[in-house]
Amino acid sequence: DVKVTQSSRYLVKRTGEKVFLECVQDMDHENMFWYRQDPGLGLRLIYFSYDVKMKEKGDIPEGYSVSREKKERFSLILESASTNQTSMYLCASSSPYHFSGVHYGYTFGSGTRLTVV
Amino acid sequence: EDQVTQSPEALRLQEGESSSLNCSYTVSGLRGLFWYRQDPGKGPEFLFTLYSAGEEKEKERLKATLTKKESFLHITAPKPEDSATYLCAVQADSVGGADGLTFGKGTHLIIQP
């Protein structure tokens, strides 16, 4: 019954490497998001996308980029990994608000714990 | 800037001991307030959405309420399996295109048998 799948649970990368985190959802959701979660800082939005090939910066986009070539797939790219990007990365998807304003929340993946050494 | 503050940061209860978690928020215009549950090493799981002051939602031992400035998650007669981190998030009217949420840092709840 997995609906949002993140490709890796754990990753260890070296400083300066280019890192790809993949996320796939099977719910036909328009909106997809990448967050990072750090102790004491909570969840912070990196990027989001509301349509194929569309992307918007979140609160902390520096050092990251994203790609959404297909509706079901949203990739997070660390162009040159640094130790301060060691974190838990969470992907989420959601459907847009219905005309009645009812929203059923995000569906999150299980997360990728990335360690940059 | 939208802000969400949750308290307490951590709470330890005995099984059956009811309590409440608080979520205070400031937002330009509230489109929705969300509660999630997160177990260790997993992604958050959706619990409730609240839209307007006075609204209440219930699910098993959990009840969420909303005022103009805060939301409460009431836990009645909790069991050890209710142990988790509970996250609160708000969505503002001003966000265009997609529905980005601003999250609080969460309350880590431990229920002891």
pLDDT for B99 equals: 64
Query: What is the DSSP pairing of strand B102-103 with strand B84-92?
Result: antiparallel
Residues of A within 8 A of B44 (CB-CB) are 43, 90, 106, 108
Give yes or no for residue A28 having a pLDDT over 60: yes
What's residue A100's pLDDT?
60
Secondary structure class of A109 (helix, strand, coil): coil
Question: Does residue A61 register a pLDDT over 80?
Answer: yes
Q: Confidence class of residue A102 from pLDDT cuts 50, 70 and 90?
A: low
Q: B85 - beta bridge partners?
A: B38, B108
3-state secondary structure of B111: strand
- The residue ranking higher by pLDDT, A99 or B85, is B85
Number of Cβ within 10 Å of residue A10's Cβ equals 9
The full set of domains in chain A, from first to last, is 4-97+109-116 (2.60.40.10)
Q: Do A106 and B101 touch (CB under 8 A)?
A: yes
The span from the CA of A23 to the CA of A75, in Å, is 6
Q: Is A86 left (phi over 0), alpha (psi -120 to 50) or beta?
A: beta
Residues B46-94 pLDDT 10s: 999 999 999 999 999 999 999 999 999 999 999 999 999 999 999 887 5
Select from A25, A37, A110 the residue whose CB has the most chain B CBs within 10 Å, as the one to mutate to test that interface.
Answer: A37
What does residue A97 show for φ and ψ, rounded to 5 degrees?
Answer: -55, 140
Q: Is the pLDDT of residue B96 over 80?
A: no
Residues A43-60: pLDDT tens digits?
999 999 988 989 999 989
Per-residue pLDDT tens digits for B8-51: 999 999 999 999 999 999 988 888 899 999 999 899 999 999 99
Provide mean pLDDT across the span A18-44: 93
CA-to-CA distance for B56 and B49, rounded, in angstroms? 9
Per-residue model confidence (pLDDT) at position A1: 63
- Mutation site, A8, A49, A103, interface B, largest B CB count within 10 A: A103
> With an 8 Å Cβ cutoff, are B97 and A97 in contact?
no
pLDDT value at residue B103 = 92
If one compares A86 and A99, the residue with the highest pLDDT of the two is A86
Distance from C-alpha of B5 to C-alpha of B75, rounded to nearest angstrom: 19
Mean pLDDT of A58-82: 96
Q: Which residues contact B111 (CB under 8 A, 6 or more apart)?
A: B13, B14, B15, B78, B79, B80, B81, B82, B83
CA distance A112 to B3: 26
| Phi and psi angles of residue B69, each rounded to the nearest 5 degrees, phi first | -125, -15
pLDDT at A99: 46
Domains of chain B (ranges, CATH numbers): 3-112 (2.60.40.10)
The predicted model gives B90-112 an average pLDDT of: 81
Residue A99 backbone dihedrals phi, psi, to 5 degrees: -60, -25
| Chain B residue with Cα closest to A32 | B98
Helices and strands (H, E) in chain B, number of each type: 0, 11
Return the pLDDT at B91: 86
